[in-house]
């Protein structure tokens, strides 16, 4: 009996995301690549564009948790009964990222209108692509800036990589994406009045065979520790109920 009790206590001591011996699978927006493993290193993570991941879940890809950089994708999956009720856990802002050498001499977002500028943005199907187009429309410079687009990436990390490597003069990314490449890049802030609301949502996938562990993962993300790590990574935090 003593041995059985010891085994039970050992199982309880395991992280919730690995209870039962199988790590849960978390599909999450690429902009969460650095922070989620700090919050919980146990799950199997797959980071990509929110739209790609939503499509994978619809097609039956194995997943326990889905986290997106826009409510659009989680809410559509919730409407169709594919995920549980989503929870907002973080916010973000857009910036313009430029190489530290700044060969195009960019000082403000309006300089993206200058001839010869090579701009990288997200594909319009991505949250970052949608937000980029929204902010350009709000600023009234869409036509002038979009003609300088040389690449439309399928996730935000692709944009960051091209700027950090000096393959383009500027790119629209999330504020949090600048931190890991701060030594090779610079940040151009965007007007606060033009910023679209950027909200991240997370939900349990209903087809999951590990729903309790999936819910425990979300509790870790929304816990005080999780919120501290998100804030340290540069994310904004929604008000707690």
> Looking at the predicted structure, is the pLDDT value of residue 241 above 70?
no
Q: Measuring CA to CA, which residue among 8, 73, 32 is closest to residue 205?
A: 73
Q: Where in the chain is the domain with CATH 3.40.190.10?
A: 2-91+198-232, 94-194
pLDDT in tens, 159-217: 999 999 999 999 999 999 999 999 999 999 999 999 999 999 999 999 999 999 999 99
pLDDT in tens, 43-92: 999 999 999 999 999 999 999 999 999 999 999 999 999 999 999 999 99
Q: What is the CATH number of domain 94-194?
A: 3.40.190.10
Sign of CA dihedral 32, 34, 37, 43: positive
Average pLDDT, the chain: 92
Ordered alpha helix ranges (H), 80-207: 127-139, 142-146, 156-164
Strand partners, 46: 27
CATH top-level class of 2-91+198-232: alpha beta
Please report how many Cα atoms fall inside a 13 Å half-sphere around the Cα of residue 126, on the Cβ side: 23
Q: How far apart are CA 71 and CA 80, in angstroms?
A: 14
Beta strand ranges found along the chain (DSSP E): 25-29, 44-48, 65-68, 87-92, 94-99, 119-122, 149-153, 170-174, 185-189, 198-204
Note the pLDDT of residue 21: 63
Sign of CA dihedral 222, 223, 227, 229: negative
């Amino acid at each position: 009996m003593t041995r059985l009790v010891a085994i039970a206590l050992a199982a309880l001591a395991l992280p919730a995301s690995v209870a039962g011996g199988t790590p849960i699978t978390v599909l999450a927006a690429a902009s969460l690549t650095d922070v989620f493993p700090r919050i919980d290193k146990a799950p199997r993570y797959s980071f990509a564009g929110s739209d790609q991941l939503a499509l994978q879940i619809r097609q039956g890809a194995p997943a326990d948790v889905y986290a997106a950089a826009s409510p659009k994708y989680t809410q559509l999956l919730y409407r169709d009964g594919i995920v549980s009720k989503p929870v907002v856990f973080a916010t973000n802002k857009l910036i313009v990222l430029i190489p530290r050498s700044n060969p195009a001499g960019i000082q403000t977002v309006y300089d993206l209108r200058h001839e010869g500028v090579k701009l990288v943005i997200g594909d319009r199907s991505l949250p970052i692509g949608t937000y980029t187009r929204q902010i350009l429309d709000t600023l009234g410079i869409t036509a002038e800036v979009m003609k300088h687009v040389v690449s439309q990436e399928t996730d935000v990390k692709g944009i960051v990589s091209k700027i950090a490597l000096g393959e383009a003069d500027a790119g629209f990314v999330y504020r949090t994406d600048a931190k890991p490449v701060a030594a090779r890049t610079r940040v151009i802030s965007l007007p606060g009045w033009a910023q679209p609301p950027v909200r991240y949502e997370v939900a349990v996938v209903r087809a999951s065979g590990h729903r309790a562990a999936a819910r425990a993962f979300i509790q870790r993300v929304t816990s005080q520790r999780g919120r501290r790590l998100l804030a340290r990574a540069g994310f904004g935090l929604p008000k707690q109920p």
